[in-house]
Every structure is written in C-alpha cells, then in structure tokens.
Homo-oligomer: A and B are copies of this chain.
C-alpha cells in the first residue's frame, strides 16, 4: 500500500474517532451533533495542541465539498413544490422579510464595526439571513413540539428560506466574480437564474423520475444508488459549467428526484453517505478555526449574536403577524427561527474559496452559530411566558390596531366563485411563464451551441446566411410546441379577463363583440411582443433579408399543417409532468 492511502486512512480514522467521541459527549450534554463535529475539528486542527493531525489536506477538503453537495442534495430531496404551495403566504412573507432585514442588518453592522472590505459586510449580511434547518428540527424534536401549528409554519419558512438562500448563493457568486453590485446585473442574474431553475425543474421532472423508475425495476439497490449518484454529480457538473454554484445544482437535482416514486428508497440509500461526508464537512469547518481569532473577535461575535436573535425574532414574528397569525404563534415562529447554521458555513466558505472575504469572517460565523444554537431551545420554551408578558404590557390602541388588521385581512380573502376564478388565473399565468421560460431557454441554448456547430456546418454549407437559416429555423421549430401552448393559454386568459372586466351593464348588446375583440387583440399583442423578444434573443443566429422571410414562410406553413400535432406533443409532455408529480406525492403519503 502506498503512503498516500495510509495518510488518507489515518486522516479519516482521526476525524471519525474524535468526531465519534465528541459527538457522543455532546449528545449526553444534550447539545446538537453539528457543534460536536466542529469542536472535534478544532481539537484536530492545526491551531490547537498537540500537533497537526491531518496529513492529506487536499483530499479531506475535496471530501468536505462532497459533504456540502450531499447536504444540499438531501435538503432538495425533502423539498416539495406542493408542500410549499400549502404553507403559502405566511412562509413567503416571513422568510422574505427576515432575509431582507438580516442582510441589511448584517451589512450595517459590518460597516459600523469599521470593516474596510465592503464584501465582508455583504457576506456577513448574507450569512445571517438563513436559519438552520437541522438545528431547528433537532430542537423541536427534543422539545416534542414537531406537530404543533407554529412548527408547521416554521418548516414552511425554512423551505422558502432555502430557495431564497440558493438564489442568494448564486447572486453572491456573481458578485464575487465581477466584484461589484450592479442593480441591472442583479436583475439579469436573477432573471437568468429563475429561467434556468424553471427549465431545469420541468425537464428534470420529465426525465429523471422515468430514468430512476427504469433502473429501479432491476430491484438492485446498488444500481439505483450508482444512477442517483451519477445524475447528482452529472447535474452538479452541468450547473458548474453554466457558472452557477454546485450547491444550487445539488439542491435542484434533489428537488427533481423528490418527485420520483423511489424517493423513500433514495433517501434511505443517501442518508449514510450524507452523514459520512457531512461529518467530514463540519469537522473541516472546525479545522479552519483558530480559537485565538474567536477570542480576538469576541466583541463583534457577541454583538452579531444579539442582532441575529433580536432581528430574526422581530422579522419572522412580524412577517407571521402580517400574514394573519395571532401574536403567540407569531412569536413562537420568530423564536424558533432565531439562529444560523449550515447555510451560513456554506456562504462563508463560498467567500473564502473566491478569496473575497477576510479570514475572520469564518470563525465569526461559526461562533455566532454556536451561540445562537445553544440559545434556540431556551427561546422556544420562553416564548409562551413572553407572549403572555407582551400581551399584558401591549398598549390598548396597538392591540386594537392588530385586531382590526386581522379582521380586514379576513375580509380580503377571496371566497366562492371568485376564489376559484383567481385560482384558474394563477394557474394559467404559471403555465404561460413555464412555457415561455422553456422557449427562451431553447433560443439561448441554440445561440450558445451555434458557436460550436458553426465551424462544423461550414464543411457542408458555405454560405453563412444559409447556416443561420438552418440553425434559427430548427430553433423555432423546437420551441413551437411551447410557443403554441403559451399562445393558447394566453388566449384563454384573455377570454377570462374579458369576461370579468367587460360587464354587460356597461357595453349592453355589444358585450359579446367587445369581449371577442379584447380576447383576440391581447394574444396578438403578446405574440408580437414575443416575436421581437425572440428576435433580440437570437440576434447571433438570425438570418438576414430574404433568407429570414423564407424561413418564416416555411415555419408558418409548418404551423398551419402540423398545428394539431404540436398541440398533441405539448399536452402529452404536460400530462407526463403532472403524472410524475402526482406519483411522487402519492408515494410520500404511504
């Protein structure tokens, strides 16, 4: 056996043995396992006696990255689009309010502490934004409160936080590379990211569960595992090549596999692998920590911890109240979410790996996470007495205002036929957005691919305009099923809107005509706008003059002849998508 392997086995032995002892100790002291790992890392690490125990740091670091991937992947597996819709408003309002407020607060603290690097302050804000799923689940489990209403709300907030956090990571990566924050850049980045996520989810949910179902037929856990790992790493790689974060890829492919019938099996197979690598990840965090730096930064650490607790309790409780929950529940939601955890470490290591943040940020994040983790269970337990105390000292007028707001909110809810109509409209808008996302993705993809096929096509067709005609024509043809579907949905939407907005009492006997005009004109406007957008998107591959006209003519001919076929293709895809998502969900309820 060569020395490399022995060094590596020694590293693993040291990590696992010390992690084992420390976590068992922490478990006896009723502290979370994650903290145990980090402490084990500090003990093993180079900053504490007796000596540097880790020999092959390169390999350990790579395995720690695998830990992040598996952590995000299983977070994705637990994610569910349907669950998200159910918790709805509360989760979205509370999470958004929390994230915006915490980023702002973190940034301000950074400036106030006199940090000269703006990105330090920005990353501080970002890493205070997202609460820790693992620590909350652990605390609620220990307190046996997992099934109470506030706990369900907390889980909803955590799901939304995960999505926003993933977006945040993508955004921070962009900022780290370009070095500046530019509002139009942010807009483009977010737009591209949403586009990518929608397309990846739709295509993924169409393809991946089918592949997994095929492999699962073999009844071999081993083959299923290898396929799952292959798809996971493969997708992460694709995402990295598109210059997004690997973490995003792992989460997305997890969310896609969450719609598979084999979800339970996959979770069972992935769990030990995730536990092994995430242990290495958390220990590796400890390895990086210098306790001296923590002591040097004791003051900022205490300030930031106070801000995290106060800011999160305030923003989440306020968000929950705005969404219509009573004061006690809202306070419990806020108390439960008042800590930071694994997401913060991921964001801090992101900053480290891009070398855009200072060395002290990481130990600060870990120390604040440790402190706020320790306080979480006490805060949750304190929320009932606190709510009573707050109820007693709240001034009368304020209490009345809150009651009034909740009444008003109750009246605002749509009821009966209107609620159904609103549901239909929302559904149609989502469908149009998804179809248009796919169309845009096809055009962007074609332009990208055209860079490579261009030189290859030259062997066959000399004329550049002909080349472009072929590429552009193919692109339009590929996107036709989705374009036509979007157009049809848009027409349906226009009819609905015409029906609602044009009242017979105003237009009298012309009602039908007015409605028809509206429901014809709006889709045509949409079509024209789409044409121009697509033309702009495909500027690189758009043929000129006569060729363009010729291609458009051919496409129109094809549309007229094959219209029904395109519609059929699309509806088949749509049915397949719904079926998959329903299967995934049925499995979950078993």
Question: Interface residues, chain A, CB within 8 Å of chain B?
Answer: 1-2, 4-6, 8-10, 12-13, 15-20, 23-24, 27, 33, 56, 58-59, 61-62, 65, 69, 214-215, 218, 220-223, 225-227, 229-231, 233-234, 236-237, 240, 245-246, 269-273, 275-276, 279, 353
A1 and B65 form a contact (CB under 8 A): yes
A sample of 11 cross-chain residue pairs with beta-carbon separation below 8 angstroms, ordered by A number, consists of: A1-B65, A15-B230, A16-B227, A33-B222, A56-B62, A58-B59, A221-B272, A222-B279, A272-B272, A273-B273, A273-B276
From B9, B16, B229, B245, A16 is in contact (CB under 8 Å) with B229
A230 and B59 form a contact (CB under 8 A): no
B275 and A272 form a contact (CB under 8 A): no
Docked pose: A15 CA to B237 CA in angstroms: 13
B229 and A33 form a contact (CB under 8 A): no
Q: A16-B230, A223-B33, A234-B16 are in contact. Are A8 and B62 (CB under 8 A)?
A: yes
Write out the residue numbers on chain B whose beta carbons fall within 8 Å of the beta carbon of A269.
Answer: 272
A353 and B19 form a contact (CB under 8 A): no
Rounded to whole Å, the gap between the CB of A494 and the closest CB of chain B is: 45
A13 and B230 form a contact (CB under 8 A): yes
Docked pose: A214 CA to B28 CA in angstroms: 11
Write out the residue numbers on chain B whose beta carbons fall within 8 Å of the beta carbon of A13.
Answer: 230, 233-234, 236-237
From B65, B234, B275, A222 is in contact (CB under 8 Å) with B275
A230 and B17 form a contact (CB under 8 A): yes
Docked pose: A237 CA to B62 CA in angstroms: 21
Rounded to whole Å, the gap between the CB of A176 and the closest CB of chain B is: 11
B65 and A62 form a contact (CB under 8 A): no
From B8, B237, B279, A226 is in contact (CB under 8 Å) with B279
- How many monomers of this chain does the complex have? 2
Known: A16-B234, A33-B220, A225-B275. 17 other contacts (CB 8 A): A1-B353, A4-B62, A5-B62, A13-B234, A15-B230, A16-B229, A20-B226, A24-B214, A27-B220, A56-B62, A222-B279, A225-B276, A226-B275, A226-B276, A226-B279, A229-B276, A270-B272
The residue of chain B having its C-beta at the shortest distance from the C-beta of A215 within the complex is B24
Q: A225-B272, A272-B269 are in contact. Are A5 and B65 (CB under 8 A)?
A: yes
The residue of chain B having its C-beta at the shortest distance from the C-beta of A237 within the complex is B13
Write out the residue numbers on chain B whose beta carbons fall within 8 Å of the beta carbon of A230.
Answer: 13, 15-20
B226 and A19 form a contact (CB under 8 A): yes
A223 and B1 form a contact (CB under 8 A): no
Docked pose: A559 CA to B273 CA in angstroms: 52
Docked pose: A271 CA to B224 CA in angstroms: 13
B20 and A215 form a contact (CB under 8 A): yes
The residue of chain B having its C-beta at the shortest distance from the C-beta of A235 within the complex is B13
Write out the residue numbers on chain B whose beta carbons fall within 8 Å of the beta carbon of A226.
Answer: 16, 19-20, 23, 275-276, 279
Docked pose: A215 CA to B26 CA in angstroms: 12
From B27, B231, B245, A1 is in contact (CB under 8 Å) with B245
Docked pose: A33 CA to B69 CA in angstroms: 26
Docked pose: A282 CA to B11 CA in angstroms: 24
Rounded to whole Å, the gap between the CB of A239 and the closest CB of chain B is: 10
Write out the residue numbers on chain B whose beta carbons fall within 8 Å of the beta carbon of A214.
Answer: 24
Docked pose: A23 CA to B2 CA in angstroms: 30
Write out the residue numbers on chain B whose beta carbons fall within 8 Å of the beta carbon of A19.
Answer: 226, 230
Write out the residue numbers on chain B whose beta carbons fall within 8 Å of the beta carbon of A9.
Answer: 65, 69, 233, 236-237, 240, 246
Write out the residue numbers on chain B whose beta carbons fall within 8 Å of the beta carbon of A16.
Answer: 226-227, 229-230, 233-234
Docked pose: A225 CA to B277 CA in angstroms: 11
Rounded to whole Å, the gap between the CB of A376 and the closest CB of chain B is: 19
Central interface residue in A18, A214, A237, by most chain B CB within 10 Å: A237
Write out the residue numbers on chain B whose beta carbons fall within 8 Å of the beta carbon of A233.
Answer: 9, 12-13, 16-17
Write out the residue numbers on chain B whose beta carbons fall within 8 Å of the beta carbon of A236.
Answer: 9, 13
The residue of chain B having its C-beta at the shortest distance from the C-beta of A27 within the complex is B218
Rounded to whole Å, the gap between the CB of A37 and the closest CB of chain B is: 9
The residue of chain B having its C-beta at the shortest distance from the C-beta of A271 within the complex is B221
Central interface residue in A12, A23, A220, A272, by most chain B CB within 10 Å: A272
B227 and A24 form a contact (CB under 8 A): yes
The residue of chain B having its C-beta at the shortest distance from the C-beta of A270 within the complex is B272
